[in-house]
Amino acid sequence: MTQKKPLIAANWKMNHVVDEALKFLTEMKCSLVTQEENATIVICPSYTALYAMGVALQDDNTINLGAQNCHFEDSGAFTGEVSTDFLKEVGCDYVIIGHSERRHIFGETDEMINKKLHKVFEKGMIPIFCVGETEQEREEGKTFTVIENQLKQGLKGLLKDQIAAMAIAYEPVWAIGTGKTASPEQAQEVHNFIRKEIAKNFGTSYAADSHILYGGSVKPSNIKDLMVMEDIDGALIGGASLKSKDFLEIISNCN
Ligand code: PEP
């Protein structure tokens, strides 16, 4: 098992209005006292809940705030977009970049994702950079080629220290929101590949330091089996992060 403190991140996607988000936080805070050393915890709510969550977390050093996306420019004529300065202002320390829903539904390219990763670092936040193959790509034996390319394009121009500080989430698209989790062995195989790719391009110690998270139908019942794998350093969780009870159980089962 990894020696690093696990990173457990909640991706709420387009769920939870402000009241629900704050209620979730209150439930978490009541139960977290004994678990705070267990993991680095990140919650990524909707944009509209970020401000209220940031205020509620001002004196809290157990739960970190994250966003689900950002724009790669600082400001300008980009109707509907949210800049990294806006995120920083409301207290975000993390930003999910390149989620497969952004890639596949909203047409984000590797080039845009690379610009976003640079911008997040420039503003002093930590990206959670998502990679992963579709079901068809897996069936066609292209998993490693797809991941290699996403890493190559996405990480272009980043510094070694940034690689060490960031989180990379392996999220097989076929496992997201489907209830089909990759087996611990399937996940480990790709995580190990990712670690080796990073080592090859940036150096072994930087690869060892970066957090490689698994995402795709993680639940309280499967987190333990995933976390015992050598190269799994945490998880990015969608559906099972929406209920505080399940999310807390995942945190307490993660090491
Ligand atoms: C995700 O969207 O990042 C995710 C992993 O979703 P789920 O846990 O619901 O599969």
Question: How do the pLDDT tens digits run along the chain, 255 residues long?
Answer: 446 899 999 999 999 999 999 999 999 988 876 555 789 999 999 999 999 999 999 989 899 999 999 999 999 999 999 999 999 999 999 999 999 999 999 999 999 999 999 999 999 999 999 999 999 999 999 999 999 999 999 999 999 999 999 999 999 999 998 888 899 999 999 999 999 999 999 999 999 999 999 999 999 999 999 999 999 999 999 999 999 999 999 999 997
Is 1 inside any structural domain? no
Range of the domain at 110: 7-12+49-253
Domain count for the chain, please give it: 1
CATH number, domain of 216, equals 3.20.20.70
Which pLDDT score is estimated for 30? 84
Is 54 inside any structural domain? yes
Which pLDDT score is estimated for 1? 44
Q: How far is the CA of 11 from the centre of ligand 1 (A)?
A: 7
| CB distance 182 to ligand 1 below 6 Å | no
- DSSP H or E stretch at residue 87: helix 84-89
CB of 206 within 8 A of CB of 197? Answer: no
Compute the distance between CA of residue 188 and CA of residue 52 in angstroms, rounded to an integer.
Answer: 37
Is 26 inside any structural domain? no
> Annotated catalytic sites, by residue?
99, 171
Which pLDDT score is estimated for 3? 67
Nearest CA to ligand 1 atom 3: 238
* Backbone φ and ψ of 211, nearest 5°: -90, 125
Instruction: Locate the ligand 1 atom nearest the alpha carbon of residue 240 and give its number.
Output: 8
| Nearest one of 221, 208, 229, 215 to 252, comparing CA atoms | 221
Is 41 inside any structural domain? no
